[in-house]
Amino acid sequence: MATDAAEARASRRGPRRTREYLLDAAERVVLREGPSASMNAIAAEAGISKPILYRHFGDKAGLYVALADRHIETLLALLREALTRPATRRERTEAAIDAWLRLVEGNPALYRFLVHRGQAEEPEVRDRVAIFQRRLGDALAIGIAAELGLPEDQWPRAQAWAHGIVGMVQAASDWWLDEQPFGREDLTRHLADLIDGAYAHA
């Protein structure tokens, strides 16, 4: 009976609000249970039957992709803001790194679910995350090229740097999330130091 009432309320919300409600429920389950979160648990959290969940997202892959899209767009907006703010190059570098690390630190279970569990289980999610990483690298490359005033024939160099930085920050954040040897601010500073060339002068 409780499930019937929840489904009746969902039908009154309309498709868009119901979809957001179900995604909110999915996030709560992922944050509580971690990468092992199941469709059964998500349906129970939302107070609906599992077929209703499948009706809105198609299948488990569709739910994973919807969760990924929600957070990818949020993070891209934060990174664009960090890369274009009026500040020194070092300050923009730290702001961009910190935006990524805040997502990782604030939602570690969700991060692991989307970047690791989702990619491993569903090719659609893997493709979505790969596209996001490419978009992130391309956005960073545009910023690097503009910052350094590179002519068009030097843009591939900016792209190589940008995509290398994206991979470095993600790998370092995975390690940091597991080990927690120091705080987020310290990791931000260490990675910014490396980008600034600290390794060459060490």
Convert the pLDDT of each residue in 23-51 to its tens digit.
Answer: 999 889 887 877 677 889 999 999 999 99
For 86, half-sphere exposure in the C-beta direction (CA atoms, 13 angstrom radius) is 0
Same-domain pairing of 53 and 71: no
Residues 6+ apart with CB under 8 A from 7: 47, 48, 49, 52
Q: How many domains does the chain have?
A: 2
Residue 85 DSSP one-character state: S
Residue 113 DSSP one-character state: I
Per the rule left: phi > 0, alpha: psi between -120 and 50, beta: everything else, 176 is alpha
Same-domain pairing of 100 and 153: yes
Same-domain pairing of 25 and 124: no
Same-domain pairing of 54 and 69: no
Same-domain pairing of 45 and 113: no
State pLDDT tens for residues 124-171. 767 777 888 888 888 889 888 888 888 989 999 999 999 999 999 999
Q: What is the pLDDT of residue 65?
A: 82
Same-domain pairing of 116 and 179: yes
State how far Cα 78 lies from the chain centre.
11
Domain that holds residue 158: 65-201
Same-domain pairing of 45 and 106: no
State pLDDT tens for residues 57-69. 888 778 888 887 8
Best CA proximity match to 46, nearest among 67, 15, 24: 24
8 Å CB contact between 39 and 59? no
C-alpha torsion sign, points 164, 77, 184, 23: negative
What pTM was estimated for this model as a whole? 0.74
Choice between 5 and 197, residue whose per-residue pLDDT is larger: 197
Same-domain pairing of 70 and 54: no
Min mean pLDDT across 111-125, 147-161, 162-176, 186-200 is at 111-125
